Amino acid sequence: MDSIVVKGNGPLKGQIPIAGAKNACLTLMPATLLSEEPLTLTNAPRLSDIKTMSALLESLGAEVSSLQDGKVLALSSHNIDNHVADYEIVRKMRASNLVLGPMLARLGHAIVSLPGGCAIGARPMDLHIAALEAMGAEIELKEGYLHAIARGGLKGAVHELRFASVGATENTVMAATLAKGTTVLKNAAREPEIVDLVHCLRKMGAQIEGEGTSTITIQGVDRLNGATHPVVTDRIELGSYMLAPAIAGGEVELLGGRINLLAAFCEKLDAAGVSVTETEKGLMVARKGDLIHSVDVVTEVYPGFPTDLQAQMMALMCTADGTSVLEEKIFENRFMHAPELIRMGANIDVQGGVATVKGVKRLKGARVMATDLRASVSLILAGLAAEGETVVSRVYHVDRGYEHVVAKFAGIGAQIERVKE
């Protein structure tokens, strides 16, 4: 198993290119199942999660070619000859559940393994199921698999999600594109990745309105065609790297970044004493002065502060001037990075979904363990600000969501390397 070794060595300077969004690509890829014609995704990120989704789609009979060093994905679902999403693949990655809606819409039936819990929470699928049932699907759980059938095809429905779930919104919107009649999805999630999915589906001939608002209306069509679509910028990769100069000092330009992808996060950075300015090519980030001020954070659905940046923000707060309170409202168990940061000298008290972080002068390098994707990057960021060497183990987590992570940090002057243990 590989580890990443980071040495805190002062201010960072340079540019980092931001990749296409993992979470957009993971919902755009299953959209191929909706059409017999090819779907080409450009600006795809090079990540292990993308390989897992490719393997899942291939197991269903789709063809997936990775071109231009993985930046272009050519997908074709001309022949879907299997309708079972197997546990062995689904358990590796929850986003596998995004094949359910498209398969049900295209084939009228699907068997998809329930993914099981994951490090950050239980993450059930009840919201996906309720929405598809509202559209006439019958769904039964048998031996860990959801057996879904839409006798006579899916039918448009008016449905309100109990919670604005990203995945349930994506599954429902994809399913509704081929349903008979109109679907109105209320309390829909508004994340930029959903807007990107709708833009792609529209290119494929889908009739959808209201993306980016909490009511999405989908008029079902008989068939969808092929399309070529560039994956939107990864706002979470962007925010993660924005924290590097905030934590270690210096000035870093994030190529392709835009404030409107991360407005709530940028507001918090501003309050913490970090300046973010738009440039021709992206975003320039630097500390305004020597001190980082403590800020309180509550994670919320978009456009609120993203849960996927909570761990990284906590790393910044570890050396802030004062006490900050971070409240996690999306996942019930997303503070596993806190005990690892404490090993580096951070002062953090976790009570349920609330973490209180008292800033310390300096973190100290230590051996720490990545517990999930975003936690892994928060530990690397903490290592940039620490005295001495930090060794982050289990970095396979980081490979799920950050392409060329060592090269990107090294490119702004960080002392970082990947080692085999």
The distance of closest approach from Cβ of residue 277 to ligand EPU in the complex, given in angstroms and rounded to an integer, is 26
- Name which of 25 and 286 has its Cβ closer to ligand EPU: 25
Active site residue: 25, 118, 266, 318, which one? 118
- Name which of 294 and 378 has its Cβ closer to ligand EPU: 378
- Name which of 106 and 128 has its Cβ closer to ligand EPU: 128
> Catalytic site residue 200?
no
The distance of closest approach from Cβ of residue 236 to ligand EPU in the complex, given in angstroms and rounded to an integer, is 6
Question: With b meaning 16 or more CB within 10 Å and e meaning fewer, what string describes 32-55?
Answer: bbbbebbbbbebbbbbbbbbbbbb
Sign of CA dihedral 224, 115, 46, 165: positive
The answer to whether 327 and 298 are in contact (CB under 8 A) is: yes
Q: Is 13 left (phi over 0), alpha (psi -120 to 50) or beta?
A: beta
The distance of closest approach from Cβ of residue 22 to ligand EPU in the complex, given in angstroms and rounded to an integer, is 6
Partnered with residue 63 across adjacent β-strands are 76
The distance of closest approach from Cβ of residue 214 to ligand EPU in the complex, given in angstroms and rounded to an integer, is 13
Helices within 178-320 (DSSP H only): 192-203, 235-248, 263-272, 310-317
Of the CA atoms within 13 Å of residue 316, those in its CB half-sphere come to 32
- The total of other beta-carbon atoms located within 10 Å of residue 91's CB is 15
* φ, ψ (nearest 5 deg) of residue 265: -65, -45
DSSP character at residue 316: H
Instruction: Kindly give the pairing relationship between strand 282-287 and strand 250-255.
Output: antiparallel
Could you tell me the strand order of the sheet in which 109-113 lies? Answer: 84-85, 109-113, 145-149, 138-142
81: Cβ contacts below 8 Å, ≥ 6 apart: 60, 61
Q: Which position's Cβ is nearest ligand EPU?
A: 167
What are the residues binding ligand EPU (CB under 6 A)?
Answer: 23, 26, 94-95, 121-128, 163, 165-168, 307-308, 330-331, 373-374, 401
- Name which of 133 and 389 has its Cβ closer to ligand EPU: 133
- Share of the chain residues as helix, strand and coil, in percent rounded to the nearest 5: 35, 30, 35
- Name which of 308 and 340 has its Cβ closer to ligand EPU: 308
- The total of other beta-carbon atoms located within 10 Å of residue 289's CB is 9
- Name which of 95 and 139 has its Cβ closer to ligand EPU: 95
| Enzyme catalytic residues | 118
